[in-house]
A and B are shown apart, each in its own frame.
Chain A
């Protein structure tokens, strides 16, 4: 019968389609991963070897860590790193306190005009940062806070989206729990810290990690308010290194710096992969 033939043809067609799909996916994976491979590879090549390659080599047989030593000694990469760490931790910590308190008020407490205020808050999400950065720059300059951590941190704290995300999660906690706590004479703040936060830990972690990524990568605001290298963050640092550090031609050392800057976030991503992706897909637009 022809039946077998038809089935075989269908199977073959399916296999061919599958092969095409896997090839397509593999090609895109290559496009995504190649820059990472190239930066690690280049960072392991010695200065002399790199510059003698007229045709770039896809592999190196004499890897060296000298570039990493250079990255930390020839330019103040360690300083940029510490600055970014301070900036990221402080901003995220303050953001968490502000966000948790506001989300608690919106989800748990009753007050006049709550819905109106919440709508106003949400509408703030539509304000593009490009518009407000101008006045913030003037404000910080007037307050004499250029080249200070306060100047870097304060305007970076507020995030309406995270308040919204946390409020949604807080609202899912059943009221009964709150009333039970009230009967026991628990204060609101204690209830927030001892009951709500532990229950909503996953969302709190998501918000924290997203903010850390945002801080680590922030470039525009730090560039505006710092012109003293002692306060540069990694993004500005890498730009400074590109334009003035190492001498323009020392690409391997530059790539070592790039690797050092990229690794913390990639590690963070691999640990919190699911949470980050879930958080971003819930509306976390970049920028």
Chain B
């Protein structure tokens, strides 16, 4: 038995080393960093211990901007993408022909490089001296004058960011929802059909309760994912997100660590912990709400 113990740990050793060194230790370390005031990266010294880093971050206009952007992004994209994916998944589940083809097509954005495809969205929306771009051309058919969506007004930039984010997160949601819809037992539908129940009523009274755990799973992961938005914004607006007023919380963390305003791991740590607390709070609220509404 003792021999077996040793052997098991030997097999686990690589995983333990990797996880310990790059996942567990950093988790503890980030807490320490966040409370070390005036940490100097070059000399590895700090003045004292306290909550100054948090107060600095919370008073930094760039962080407040990032916080605002992230919240707007979350509030818009999570409901929109969840509702849209629900609509598409229900439609997808009700057809037989071409279903596989549609499913494959819909999953495509999941496997593409966010940065690369973001560039395509950028040129679709961008207004240059040579051309208004495709989106503006389409808008002009409806009598809407050209807007620079990439370096123009704030709401236009936010709109593009939201559209791109929804485009990126849809594959995952559609995949999960169609899987969940397929697992609802046919018996319930047949019983409802015998009773002559209308389609809308079937959806509300049978389908929705049956898939409600999946829907809440998607909402929770959607919130978490949206709070961590970053690469989408970089893809559209470039690496200097502060200048574009489009920074996100995660973007702020990385900028603090490295980049134009870089070299402050303490501030970065404090911001990361604030983000973590926000996400944790929202997730807990979600779980509480879901307890009330998820049907089994």
Contact = CB atoms under 8 A, between A and B. Distances in A.
Interface of A: 18, 21-22, 24-25, 28-29, 31-33, 35-36, 38-39, 42, 51-56, 97-99, 101-102, 104-106, 109-112, 114, 117, 121, 124, 127-128, 130-139, 154-155, 157-158, 160, 163, 188, 213, 216-217, 219-220, 223-224, 234-235, 238-239, 242-243, 249, 251, 254-255, 257-258, 261-262, 265-266, 268-270, 273, 276-277, 280-281, 285-287
A101 B108 contact: no
A25 B88 contact: yes
A266 B111 contact: yes
Contacts of A132: 22-23, 26-27, 30
Given A18-B95, A124-B19, A132-B30, 5 more contacts: A22-B98, A134-B33, A160-B19, A163-B15, A273-B107
B14 A54 contact: no
B18 interface: yes
Interface residues of B, number: 85
Interface string B90-113: 011011001000111111111111
A96 to B, nearest CB: 11
Contacts of B109: 32
B155 interface: no
Interface stretch (B62-70, B71-79, B184-192, B269-277): B269-277
A138 B265 contact: yes
19 contacts: A28-B106, A36-B120, A39-B117, A54-B130, A101-B15, A102-B14, A127-B23, A135-B26, A216-B113, A217-B112, A220-B254, A223-B239, A234-B113, A238-B119, A239-B239, A255-B123, A262-B117, A269-B111, A286-B110
Interface string B14-46: 110011011111110110010000000100000
Contacts of B216: none
Given A238-B115, A258-B120, A285-B225, A158 B105 contact: no
A97 B14 contact: yes
A134 B108 CA distance: 32
A32 B108 contact: yes
